[in-house]
A and B are shown apart, each in its own frame.
Chain A
Amino acid sequence: MKIKAALSRIRKDWVIYLMLLPAIAYFVIFNIVPLIGMKLAFQDYRIIGDNQWVGLKHFKVLFSSPAFFDVLKNTIIISTMKMIFIFPIPIILSLMINEVRVGPFRKYVQSVVYLPHFLSWVVIAGIWISFLNPADGGINVIRNFFQMPSVDFITSKEHIRWVLVFSEMWRTAGWDSILYLAAIMKISPSLYEAARIDGASSVQQMRYITLPELTGTIVTVFILNLGFFMNAGFDQVFNLINDSVISVIDILDTYVYRIGILNGQYAYATAASLFKGVIGVVLILGTHFISKKISGKGVW
């Protein structure tokens, strides 16, 4: 009876299904099919005919390959550096912007610091390669002014990871501060009112009202960022990598690109990227549950 009722509803609502059909078809073809396609990690790729199941063969090769551990190490180092040096910046930035009275200067600062978010990494790489140019790039002009020798940052193994950190900061810090700024806006003005009456300075207000009120947002953003930990910024590295520094900034995704797209070892590359994906999901679920246990705050 229940099935019959459902069927008659489905027949009555045919327009709804027709309107939903393009979206569903799209999701199945472009999202679900490649997701299932990850099974290639356990197969050998055949151009003609069905792929053959080979179990964990590719993972065994992967985990016994020194090249894989090198890129894994680079990925972890670069992501950790970014976590430590970039993550706090948007928070600090939003606190500073919040101290600026609403007006032209505030509008100017916000418009400028959000801008790099809209530039592609191709463009940013072009701008930074020029700005870090050893001959007369901006940074080296400043170094020379202080009597320091010029450095070719883009091809220097010592510096390139810092180039990644600072160029990423340049691109994202402004835009990411929007999230925190929005959270600050939602804090009730009466809290500050009460603090002022009690004689709290603006630094004390920041320390005892704004920061504690921001904790929830900070935790959420941190956990979401952890989900991208194994990415380490593919688009950025892809556009800044060169032969001189490949040994220190080759990351999992650039490795997958090289062995998969360039060398055509599809199955092996898929195994590497599946490994990456699983770590990502474990990281995000793990921190979510730990954070929920400790502070009662998770992502969802």
Chain B
Amino acid sequence: MKKLSLSSVIIYSILFLLSISVLIPILNILAMSLSDPLKVHELKGLDILPKGFSLINYEILLSNPLILRSLFNTIFITVAGTALNLFLTAMAAYVLARTDFVGKKLVMLLLIVIMVFEPGMIPEYLLVKDLGLLDTYASLILYKAINVYYLFILMRFFGDVPESIIEAARIDGAGHFRIFTRIMLPLSKPALATLGLFYGVYHWNEYFRATIYLTDPNKWPLQVVLRQFVVERDNTAMLGQLAGGSYEQIKNLDFASLQSGTIMISIVPLLILYPLILKYYAKGALEGGVKD
């Protein structure tokens, strides 16, 4: 057993402190959301255990139609968006990685141009407006339907599938589409899972385009509601929806705790998926050298 040197004691301590500094602010929010509203004023900024225990904040939030509706919107946009992302990215990646055709160089040039030059937010907004997509889910589902960086990652993965497998299918008379759906997709499950998480996290966290494209609160994703409530400190939408709440609920309102609860609702799905994300996403990032 190697003796612990002074330098490794220092390194272990610093790393431990860093991890604590990441965790405490998050755990404090969790503790606030779970505290008894009558005791939450005793909770200080470094506390990570709730004062008393109550699920009242979550009861209020999860019976709020605005929150429920936005949660549903986020789930819908994330699932539909990710499915479309994966299908389009995979099909393009197959063609670009495994076939040779007239004009391929031109397509690759197009990809580079797209990667280097990013259009500003105004032309994008005007495009969405001109397409009549303002105030539609489609505006969010279609945006970044193919991310060029992810396309390159998948192309590299498809490129590594042994030619002999494809050759065998071709001899059996399979066309490109059949090879793509019957061979490439099943063989690439880990890569597709990784990209699915890349895209899924993007859709789940998206708020800015939703803010400028959607004016109808019924279509807002959770992040927009969260932003209005937590960042802009605008309680009106929440209050309006609370009018139907019981006296008990309204009496016990603590807005900071409700805000904490809303934050937690928006990150709990990420926390549940986090082990998977670490397994695939971190691995993908290691291999692809992705930085977004």
Q: Mark A21-60, 1 if CB is under 8 A from B, else 0.
A: 0111011011111110110100000000000000000000
| Chain A-chain B contacts (Cβ-Cβ < 8 Å), number | 241
B245 in the interface (beta carbon within 8 A)? no
A26 CA / B29 CA spacing, docked (Å): 41
Chain B: minimal CB distance from A99 (Å): 5
Whole-angstrom distance from the CB of B228 to the nearest CB of chain A? 10
Chain A residues with CB under 8 A of B32: 130
Asked if B7 lies at the interface with its beta carbon under 8 angstroms from chain A, I say yes
Q: Which of B268-292 contact A (CB under 8 A)?
A: 270, 274, 277-278, 282, 285-286, 289, 291
Q: Chain A residues with Cβ under 8 A from B206's Cβ? A: 120
With both beta carbons as reference points, the residue of chain B lying nearest to A300 in the complex is identified as B112
Question: Which chain A positions have C-beta within 8 A of B89?
Answer: 23
Are B99 and A270 closer than 8 Å at their CB atoms? no
A181-B145 Cα distance, complex, nearest whole Å: 30
| Chain A residue at minimum C-beta to C-beta distance from B26 | A127
Q: Which residues of A from 89 to 147 have beta carbons under 8 Å from B?
A: 93, 96-97, 99-100, 105, 108-116, 118-120, 122-123, 125-131, 133, 136-142
Residue A269 is within 8 A (CB to CB) of chain B in the complex: yes
Tell me if B's interface is mostly helix, strand, loop or mixed: helix
Does A261 touch B at the CB level, under 8 Å?
yes
Q: Is B168 an interface residue (CB 8 A)?
A: no
- In the complex the two chains form, is A127's CB within 8 Å of B121's CB? no
- Bound state CA distance, A138 and B28, in angstroms? 9
CB pair B22–A119 under 8 Å, yes or no, is: no
Range of interface residues on A (Cβ < 8 Å)? 35 or more
Q: In A163-181, which residues have CB < 8 Å from any B CB?
A: 170, 174-176, 178-179, 181
Quick one: given A16-B176, A178-B285, are A270 and B123 in contact (CB under 8 Å)? Answer: yes
Rounded to whole angstroms, the CA-CA distance of A129 and B227 in the bound complex is 12
| Pick from A34, A120, A203, A239: contact of B123, CB under 8 Å | A34
CB-CB contacts below 8 Å: B82-103 with A: 88-89, 91-92, 94-96, 99, 101-102
Question: B262 — nearest CB in chain A belongs to which residue?
Answer: A126
Among B12, B22, B28, B99, the residue within 8 A (CB) of A113 is: B22
Known: A16-B176, A239-B227, A269-B122. A277 touches B143 (CB 8 A): no
The answer, yes or no, to whether A224 is at the interface (CB within 8 Å) is: yes
Instruction: Report which of B21, B111, B116, B231 forms a contact with A126, defined as CB distance below 8 A.
Output: B231
Q: Does A1 contact B (CB under 8 A)?
A: no
Chain A residue contacts of B44, Cβ below 8 A: 136, 138, 141
- A233-250 CB mask vs B (1 if < 8 Å, else 0) is 001001100000000000
Does A191 sit at the interface, judged by CB under 8 A? no
Instruction: Verify if A10 is at the interface (C-beta below 8 Å from B).
Output: yes
**Chain A's interface: helix, strand, loop or mixed, by majority?**
helix
Please judge, given known A-B contacts A108-B19, A277-B120, whether A30 and B145 are in contact too, CB under 8 Å. Answer: yes
Chain B interface size, under 10 / 10 to 19 / 20 to 34 / 35 or more: 35 or more
Considering the chains assembled together, what is the distance between the CA atoms of A236 and B206 in angstroms? 13
* A200-218 near B? 1/0 per residue, CB < 8 Å: 0011000000000000000
Residues A261 and B117 in contact, CB atoms below 8 Å apart: no
Q: Given A256-B122, A266-B122, does the pair A122, B207 have CB atoms closer than 8 Å? A: yes
Task: Give Cα A143–Cα B226 distance, bound, in whole angstroms.
Answer: 29
**Residues in A whose Cβ lies below 8 Å from that of B126:** 34, 37, 40, 266
Do A26 and B88 have beta carbons less than 8 Å apart?
Answer: yes
Seen from chain B, the residues whose Cβ lies within 8 Å of a Cβ on chain A are 5, 7-8, 11-12, 14-16, 18-19, 21-26, 28-29, 32, 43-46, 88-89, 91-92, 94-96, 99, 101-102, 107, 110-111, 113-114, 116-127, 131, 142-146, 175-177, 180, 201, 204-208, 212, 223, 226-227, 230-231, 256, 259-260, 262-263, 266-267, 270, 274, 277-278, 282, 285-286, 289, 291
The 7 closest A-B CB pairs, nearest first, are: A37-B123, A138-B45, A273-B120, A120-B205, A23-B92, A34-B119, A34-B123
The 9 listed contacts between A and B (C-beta, < 8 Å) are: A23-B88, A30-B127, A33-B127, A109-B16, A118-B201, A123-B226, A131-B25, A174-B22, A273-B121
